[in-house]
């Protein structure tokens, strides 16, 4: 069997239509996309990826994605254009009528049909069924993956490891998180107030806070700020951002890099800025840390803001936004985690569970590595 062309059924789940063409052992020369009108944009996103990989593609419109007879005739006409055994059906996507109709035509004419297991990222042959399946290589990178869901990577942070001095600072905070927790909220607020001026004056209560003084001394020791009389001074905007919560994102980034080989992460990025179109308007989002493993997208949001009082609804807003991004940018198999130095309230814990968003916060932070490894293995 010499397969030169894949027939794919375009749907909202893009990964099964990408991974087979990324594997050199399975890569076709051509792709035909069976597309319903509501999937036209997604077909364009896929074709852009195929073109970059040197794969020729063309679309074949299905006017009614629920009319089995209509779909069967289109597929039958397509098969007459190809030599026997040269066109294989990827039956993973499309509506159920599309998948059933295409499968029946291929089976009746004894043409090859395969299915991509959505969780195992494995090709399963449906016809001929005796042919052994195979695991697909994890070759897709973040920009291509996100492009398949209509998002363009416009910028991302440096991919360097975390400097030893910064590791020492964040390890001190994380290992003594209970001690520093309240002071971190106060310092986070002060750093926010210093936006632009890079200076902020402490009030009498803050000046007499022993825990805050201890934390300020720690950041000053690592040259992220200085205390001049009663005023906090940040040497640069980068330093102010770091104190304002950037330290947690950097710590999580370092842990993710540390487990990259051990966990099988295939691509990883920090501060990944993406842009997508919604109702002909650009929508921009930034992903604190995101990575691919087994061609599945993982998104991590790092928060140092304390959601109390007037900001109590902020925890819910963060979780709902993370859930939306997870579905929009990674489909059904994507996973998300919220990492925070403050403990969530019981309502946010319940909400995260309902949305299938993992949490790691407060006194769980020293065991972040173990929690991440467990997360990516399930």
pLDDT one-digit tens code per residue, 17-64: 998 988 888 889 999 999 999 999 999 999 999 999 899 999 999 999
Give the number of other Cβ atoms within 10 Å of residue 195's Cβ. Answer: 13
Length, in residues, of the chain: 378
Residue with the two structure tokens 């061609």? 295
Query: What's the mean pLDDT in 321-344?
Result: 93
CA–CA separation, 271 vs 156, rounded Å? 5
Local confidence band at 314 (pLDDT 50, 70, 90 cut-offs): low
Query: What's the mean pLDDT in 224-243?
Result: 96
261 has a pLDDT exceeding 50: yes
Give the strand order in the sheet containing 122-127: 56-61, 30-35, 5-9, 87-90, 113-117, 122-127, 134-135
Tell me the per-residue pLDDT of 52-103, one tens digit each, with 9 for 90 and over.
989 999 999 999 999 999 999 999 999 999 988 899 999 999 889 999 999 9
Query: What's the mean pLDDT in 326-347?
Result: 92
Residue with the two structure tokens 């993370």? 322
Report pLDDT for 308.
52
Report pLDDT for 175.
94
H or E, element range at 178 = helix 177-193
Local confidence band at 118 (pLDDT 50, 70, 90 cut-offs): confident
211 has a pLDDT exceeding 80: yes
Query: What's the mean pLDDT in 349-357?
Result: 95
Domains of the chain, first to last? 5-137 (3.40.50.10770), 155-160+249-377 (3.40.1350.10), 164-241 (1.10.10.680)
């Amino acid at each position: 069997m010499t397969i030169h062309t894949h027939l794919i059924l375009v749907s909202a789940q893009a990964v099964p239509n990408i991974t087979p063409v990324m594997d050199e052992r399975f890569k076709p020369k051509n792709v035909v996309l069976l597309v319903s009108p509501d999937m036209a944009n997604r077909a364009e996103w896929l074709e852009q990826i195929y073109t970059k990989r040197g794969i020729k593609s063309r679309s074949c419109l299905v006017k009614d994605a629920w009319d089995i007879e209509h779909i069967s005739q289109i597929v039958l006409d397509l098969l007459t254009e190809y030599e026997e055994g040269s066109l294989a059906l990827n039956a993973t996507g499309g509506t159920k009528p599309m998948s059933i109709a295409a499968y029946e035509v291929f089976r009746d004419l004894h043409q090859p049909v395969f299915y991509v297991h959505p969780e195992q990222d494995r090709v399963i042959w449906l016809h001929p069924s005796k042919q052994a399946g195979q695991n697909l290589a994890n070759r897709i990178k973040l920009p291509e993956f996100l492009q398949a869901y209509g998002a363009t990577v416009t910028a991302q942070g440096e991919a360097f490891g975390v400097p030893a001095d910064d590791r020492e600072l964040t390890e001190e905070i994380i290992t003594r998180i209970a001690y520093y927790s309240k002071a971190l909220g106060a310092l986070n607020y002060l750093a926010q107030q210093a936006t632009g001026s890079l200076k902020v004056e402490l009030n009498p209560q803050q000046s007499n806070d022993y825990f805050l003084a201890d934390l300020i001394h720690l950041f000053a020791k690592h040259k992220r700020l200085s205390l001049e009389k009663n005023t906090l001074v940040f040497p640069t905007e980068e330093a102010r951002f770091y104190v304002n919560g950037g330290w947690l994102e950097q710590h999580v980034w370092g842990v993710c890099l540390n487990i990259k080989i051990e966990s099988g992460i295939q691509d990883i990025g920090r501060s990944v800025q993406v842009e997508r179109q919604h109702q002909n308007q650009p929508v921009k989002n930034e992903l604190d840390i995101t990575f691919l493993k087994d061609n599945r997208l993982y998104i991590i949001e790092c928060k140092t803001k304390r959601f109390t009082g007037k900001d109590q609804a902020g925890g819910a807003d963060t979780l709902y936004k993370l859930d939306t991004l997870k579905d929009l940018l990674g489909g059904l198999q994507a996973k998300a985690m919220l990492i925070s130095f403050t403990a969530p309230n019981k309502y946010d814990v319940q909400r995260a569970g309902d949305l299938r968003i993992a949490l790691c916060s407060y006194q769980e932070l020293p065991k972040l590595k173990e929690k991440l490894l467990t997360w990516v293995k399930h």
